[in-house]
């Protein structure tokens, strides 16, 4: 049966990961982002079921006990996890799936699915990262320092990923990400998997032709 490819995309907060993934989805068909569960508070503008499934800690812990998560982790102060049945259903339907998760989740996914494709997005400089993390206006210096420390801690895992994209010029970074997905789709084993009937038809013998 044909099945989709699993992508892991990680980045420190402030590297532009979410915008890049959104641009990728606008450009390519057959690829979706998995909606994670989280115990963190909803931010203004976020929609339950779209950005995340927002749940309380008791619900999250029940899901952990039931084995509902493909991977889960405590990221800074909150729990985040990827629903196993949701991802499996999309992959089985032939959809490529993107997991926007942290390095701890990425490790768990690699263990279970070694052919998942992993990408780390880096900001172009420390200054640019600091600027992105300060932009929310109302935050004090201590909060911004904490975000910088968290970002540096996430970035220290960049070399556990197969692909690294530096998000300097947005269009260039988007092209790199799109190019990566397209290249993956042309891999022999993926083509064999997805294009079985075509390959059979192309290779069937014609009488009189060797």
Shortest-Cβ-distance residue relative to ligand 5GP? 105
Decide: residue 169, CB within 10 A, 0-12 exposed, 13-18 middle, 19+ buried.
exposed
Residue 87 phi/psi, 5-degree rounding, is -70, -40
Q: Does 20 bind ligand 5GP (CB under 6 A)?
A: no
Q: Which is nearer to ligand 5GP, 104 or 175 (CB)?
A: 104
Q: Which of these ranges, 59-67, 70-78, 123-131, 187-195, lies near ligand 5GP under the rule CB under 6 A? A: 70-78
Among 19, 95, 104, 134, binds ligand 5GP (CB under 6 A): 104
How far is it, in rounded angstroms, from Cα 126 to Cα 87? 34
Nearest to 105 by CA among 203, 25, 35, 9: 9
**Residue 40 CB, nearest distance to ligand 5GP (Å)?**
5
Q: Does 167 bind ligand 5GP (CB under 6 A)?
A: no
**Residue 55 CB, nearest distance to ligand 5GP (Å)?**
12
Q: Does 80 bind ligand 5GP (CB under 6 A)?
A: yes
Q: Which is nearer to ligand 5GP, 21 or 181 (CB)?
A: 21
Nearest to 100 by CA among 190, 24, 185, 182: 24
Q: Does 40 bind ligand 5GP (CB under 6 A)?
A: yes
Helix (H, G, I), strand (E, B) or coil at 153: helix
Judge contact between 138 and 30, C-beta under 8 A: no
Q: Which is nearer to ligand 5GP, 31 or 106 (CB)?
A: 106
Judge contact between 37 and 127, C-beta under 8 A: no
Residue numbers belonging to the annotated binding site = 11-18
Residue numbers belonging to the annotated binding site for ATP = 11-18
Nearest to 154 by CA among 49, 47, 9: 9
Binding site for ligand 5GP (CB under 6 A): 10, 13, 36, 40, 71, 73, 75, 80-82, 100-102, 104-105
């Amino acid at each position: 049966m044909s099945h989709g490819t699993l992508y892991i995309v990680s980045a420190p907060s402030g590297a532009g990961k979410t915008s890049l993934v959104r641009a990728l989805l606008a450009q390519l068909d057959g690829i979706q982002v998995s909606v994670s569960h989280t115990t963190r508070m909803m931010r203004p503008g976020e929609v339950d079921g779209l950005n995340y499934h927002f749940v309380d800690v008791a619900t999250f812990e029940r899901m952990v006990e039931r084995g509902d998560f493909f991977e889960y982790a405590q990221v800074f102060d909150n729990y985040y996890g990827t629903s196993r049945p949701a991802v499996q259903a999309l992959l089985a339907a032939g959809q490529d799936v993107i997991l926007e998760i942290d390095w701890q989740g990425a490790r768990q996914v690699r263990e279970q699915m070694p052919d998942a494709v992993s990408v780390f997005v880096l900001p172009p400089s420390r200054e640019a990262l600091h600027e992105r993390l300060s932009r929310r206006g109302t935050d004090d210096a201590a909060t911004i320092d904490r975000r910088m420390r968290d970002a540096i801690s996430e970035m220290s895992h960049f070399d556990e990923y197969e692909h690294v994209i530096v998000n300097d010029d947005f269009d260039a970074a988007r092209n790199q990400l799109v190019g990566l997905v397209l290249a993956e789709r042309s891999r022999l084993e993926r083509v064999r998997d997805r294009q079985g009937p075509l390959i059979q038809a192309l290779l069937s013998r014609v009488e009189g032709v060797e």
